Amino acid sequence: MALPAYKTTGQRFWHYVYLAFCAFVMFFLVAPLVAVIPLSFTSEAFLNFTPGMLSLDPDAFSFRWYRLLVGDCSDAVITTVCSDKWMIGLKNSFFVGIASTILATTLGILAALGLSKPHMPYRKLIMAALISPMIVPLIISAAGMFIFFAKVNLVSTFTGLIFAHTALGLPFVVITVTATMSGFDHSLTRAAENLGGHPTHNFFKIQLPLIAPGVISGALFAFITSFDEIVVVLFVGGADQLTLPRQMWAGIRQEISPTILAAATILVLISVALLTTIELLRRRSERLRGISPA
Amino acid sequence: MAVTTAPDVDVSGPILTSDGKPLKASLQKSLRKNKIRAMLLVAPTFVFLLFTFIIPVLALMMNSVDDTYINEVLPRSFAEFENWDAKELPPESMYKAMFTDIVEAEGLQIGKGSTRMNYAQSGWKSLMKKSRRNFNKLIKNEPDFAGPYKEAMIKADKRWGQLKYWQSLSVMKSNYTAGYYWNAIDRKYDVNKNVVMQPESRQVYVTFWLRTLLVSMLVTVFCVILAYPVAHLLATLPLRYSNILMICVLMPFWTSLLVRIVAWMIMLQQQGVVNDSLVAMGIVADDNRWEMMYNFTGTLIVMTQVLLPFMILPIYSVMKTISPVYMKAAQNLGATPRWAFIKVYVPQTLPGVGAGVILVFIVAIGYYITPELVGGKDGQLIGNQIAYHLKQSLNWGLASAMGVILLAAILILYWVYDKIVGIDNMRMG
């Protein structure tokens, strides 16, 4: 950023201090994440940059920790415990994530449809109740679920975990879908009804395709919420509900090895991919709404 | 047209619809139908959330005051307690009641119940377990044993002859107790149900509450200091550059919390990247590396980085709306740039700063994962105590009471937030 010529030396000095400070904050935000990625390709079992890595020696890099991650234990040099737990965790994470996303999306769309009706009573109160899982700290939600689920035998079951994750993901679906719904032209459904369409048919043929961007980004948020969730899993899940974050948690608590960095790198890539999709959808929907006459 | 050529319409009566019903009633009926339809759409979601979230949180609240269990285990003793003045050792009838209660209860009930009794008066747990064993033996040897109970019980364990154990029943005789709340702030009921301080060695929780407040405040302050210039830069740079910087802000926001914690571990540990670099630059001696992980500092650094986007985004979204014209006007009117910044720019950004402060504070106060993994001993917060009592010491009552206090604090903060900014204006970029 160039400064105008009339600025005094003092002003210039403070301007550069300001820029340096911002650079430091950006570094602070991003550096740890950036450091993880190259370190996950190390060929040594240490968690720091070896001289070989710094001089970009190809021998210092390897995929051995990724092989460990997928349960390939053929690497005899590695002394750390090798198991298929990461793969089980990944499978469980996808299972719980997809199941709770489907549930949260279905329930969220229904609620958003109801909330967007002009005659909905107690709208503010119901909305507050529906987004409360987002507001209450996770430790309190997890504690409450743990106590209540213990009474109804849902602790250490996949059903319990899926229900819990659905509750946590629901607010995101409700928020994104009601937001999309607010830009929806209700005369379209009325026109469809006038033309004799059945309400269910109209919903799937007219309304759903138009609110799809909101639905998809809500669903993706719900999925990430479940996929990254660790607190509730620790309380509500048992030994069988080994999800990826839970396996990572166990790994961090025992001894952090480059395997965890490899898993972290993959998680970074997954969340960046998912959230880029959300951002693109949001822009698309904004653009569509921008050119619509409403 | 219709009005002038329809003289047969009786305008004085109620307006009727085509099927002859009054229009008002018909309209109301259709409105009611719409209302019911809307509610039916919301109902499944609401019921689902009721059972998976709202009732669990209510169960937590109930659990923090609930004391019915012990009353179910020892019903006769508590009934007798009503007739006792609690000044001297209880009468024979109360000994008999306690004896019968202990003999008739199941082993598991005595185990769980005595754990609860131990919170009121330490020693109960071993007394109850030992007594159950001894009394059962006594019954076995003398099937028609009918007293004297007092003598037999004191013989079995001399603690039955101590007044304080009997008196401590007063704390438990009601089905509801505030005892866990007092415990959560290092106080307790004495045997006469007065609130007193815990003994010095057991005063731990106030420290945790204060530390939680301190960490949340420090993290909030650090976040404001770090976020303000960055938000300003983001808001004033041309869109092309600011978009790239925005990705830097959002990337940590998007990645899993555990990943960020792992990242900080490799940065901050003794053999980590930061220490290695400092040693390489000669700032720190190799044998005197900084300890930045598994302590209070670790919690602060990691929490600040994790929560920073929550501060940058609201401040940025407010700064974005501030027109540069005001600053120019102030300077035209003779203000120095610094003075214009302080007097004109900063006040306009305060809503964003306020939103960020409350948001960061609320999230920080309920943190559990970060302190658990990087906090070591002196970086643990109240969230960790809740988890500890829920999963390890199994004092659910105390864990619930702490949770409810925390929840109440957060709801108050949200209420303040709603008053200042409005929940609906909450934006995450």
ipTM summary value: 0.86
The CATH number of whichever domain residue A156 belongs to comes to 1.10.3720.10
CA A246 to chain centre: 15
Mean pLDDT, chain B, rounded, equals 86
Of A1, A136, A252, the CB nearest to B373: A252
User: Roughly what angle, to the nearest 10 degrees, separates helices B382-391 and B205-236?
Assistant: 130
Q: What type of residue sits at position A171?
A: P
| Cα dihedral sign, B58-B61-B65-B71 | positive
Cβ proximity of B366 and A135 under 8 Å: no
Tell me phi and psi for residue A11, to 5 degrees.
Answer: -65, -40
Residue carrying structure tokens 């199994």 = B394
User: Chain A interface, mutation test: which of B254, B274, B310, most A Cβ atoms within 10 Å?
Assistant: B254
Last residue of a domain, one of B31, B55, B79: B55
Q: Exposed, middle or buried by CB within 10 Å (0-12, 13-18, 19+), for B80?
A: buried
- Identify the helix (H) or strand (E) that includes residue B187: strand B187-189
B3, with CB counted inside 10 A (0-12, 13-18, 19+), is: exposed
- CA B410 – CA B103 distance, rounded (Å): 46
Residue of A11, A138, A271 lying closest to B255 (CB–CB): A271
Beta carbons of A65 and A86 less than 8 angstroms apart: no
The answer to whether the CB atoms of A140 and B403 lie below 8 A apart is yes
Residue in the block written with tokens 């007293």: B147
- To the nearest whole Å, the CA of B78 is away from the closest chain A CA by 26
Prior bond to B314 cis, omega within 30? no
Interface of A with B in 219-258 (CB under 8 A): 228, 230-231, 234-235, 245, 248-249, 252-253, 256
Nearest CB neighbour to B368, from listed A126, A231, A271: A231
Q: Write the CB contacts of A128 (distance below 8 Å, at least 6 apart in sequence).
A: none
Q: What is the DSSP letter of B195?
A: E
Using CB atoms, pick whichever of A11, A130, A268 lies closest to residue B255. A268
Which tokens in the block code for residue B16?
Answer: 């009727």
> Smallest CA–CA separation between B66 and chain A, in Å?
13
Contact B35 A19 (CB under 8 A): no
Domain presence at residue A107: yes
- CA B173-B122-B60 angle, to 5 degrees, is 55
Which A residues 179-208 touch B at CB under 8 Å? Answer: none
Residues on chain B touching A258 (C-beta within 8 angstroms): none
Tally of structural domains, chain A: 1
The range of the structural domain enclosing residue B144 comes to: 68-175
What's at B87, amino acid-wise?
K
* φ, ψ (nearest 5 deg) of residue B401: -60, -45
Asked if residue B3 is part of any domain, the answer here is no
Task: Tell me the per-residue pLDDT of A180-190, one tens digit each, with 9 for 90 and over.
Answer: 888 788 888 88
Domain count within chain B = 3
Nearest residue in chain B measured CA to CA from A253 = B373
Amino acid at site A38: P
B39 to A36: CB separation less than 8 angstroms, yes or no: no
Ordered mean pLDDT values, 10 residues apiece, chain B (429 residues): 49 71 85 88 94 95 91 88 84 87 86 87 88 86 81 86 86 88 89 84 90 95 96 89 83 84 87 85 84 88 92 90 88 87 90 88 90 88 93 91 94 83 53
Cβ–Cβ gap B267/A31 under 8 Å: yes
**Inside any domain, residue B249:** yes
- Give the tokens for residue B287: 């044998």
- For residue B50, give the chain A residue with the closest CA: A129
CB-CB contact of A53 with A60 (8 Å): yes
The pLDDT tens digits of the residues spanning B210-265 come to: 999 999 999 999 999 999 999 999 998 888 888 888 888 888 877 888 988 988 98
- Is residue A54 a part of any domain in this protein? no
Domain of residue A269 covers 85-291
What's the confidence (pLDDT) of residue B428?
A: 44
Query: Could A33 and B31 be called an inter-chain contact, meaning their C-beta atoms sit closer than 8 Å?
Result: no
Distance (Å, rounded) from C-alpha B423 to C-alpha B34? 28
What distance in Å separates the CA atoms of residue B198 and residue B181, rounded to the nearest whole number?
13
Residues B360, B216: one domain? yes
Judge whether A256 lies within some domain: yes
A273 at the B interface (CB within 8 A)? Answer: no
Is B196 inside a domain boundary? no
Task: Please indicate, yes or no, if residue A240 is contained in any of the structural domains.
Answer: yes
Contact B390 A146 (CB under 8 A): yes
A11 CB neighbours in chain B (<8 A) are: 337
| Smallest Cα distance from B60 to chain A, Å | 5
One domain, residues B366 and B387: yes
Q: What is the CATH number of the domain that holds B222?
A: 1.10.3720.10
User: Cβ of A260 and B262 within 8 Å?
Assistant: yes
Q: Is B35 within the bounds of a domain?
A: yes
CA distance A77 to A89: 24
pLDDT at A274: 80
Half-sphere exposure of B246 (CA within 13 A, CB side): 18
Task: Please tell me whether residues B309 and B282 are part of one structural domain.
Answer: yes
Cα–Cα distance measured from residue B347 to residue A100, given in angstroms and rounded to the nearest whole number: 44
Q: How many Å apart are CA B94 and CA B166, to the nearest integer? A: 10
pLDDT at B1: 42
Residue B60 lies in a domain: no
pLDDT at B8: 54
Whether residues B169 and B216 share a domain: the answer is no
Give residue B95's identity as a one-letter amino acid code.
Y
Establish if B296 belongs to a structural domain: yes
pLDDT at A2: 61
Asked if residue B278 belongs to a domain, the reply is: yes
Cβ atoms within 10 A of the Cβ of B377, count? 8
End-of-domain residue from the set B175, B195, B225: B175
Q: Which of B44, B258, B363 sits opposite A249 (nearest CB)?
A: B258
Q: Is residue A26 part of a domain?
A: no
Q: What is the token pair recorded at B415?
A: 């209420």
Q: What is the pTM of this model?
A: 0.86
Count of CB pairs separated by less than 8 Å, A with B: 247
Q: Does residue B428 sit at the A interface (CB-CB below 8 Å)?
A: no
Task: Check CB contact of B201 with chain A, cutoff 8 Å.
Answer: no
Q: Residues B237, B258: one domain? A: yes
Max CA distance (Å), chain A: 75
Confidence (pLDDT) at B232: 93
User: B176: which strand partners?
Assistant: B66
pLDDT at residue B140, as a whole number: 86
Task: Extract the residue ranges of chain A whose pLDDT is less than 70.
Answer: 1-2, 75-81, 289-294
CB B261, CB B369: distance < 8 Å: yes
Which pLDDT score, from 0 to 100, does residue A66 have?
85
Nearest chain B residue (CA) to A11: B337
For A216, phi then psi, to 5°, come to -65, -45
Q: With respect to residue B316, please indicate whether it lies within any of the assigned structural domains.
A: yes
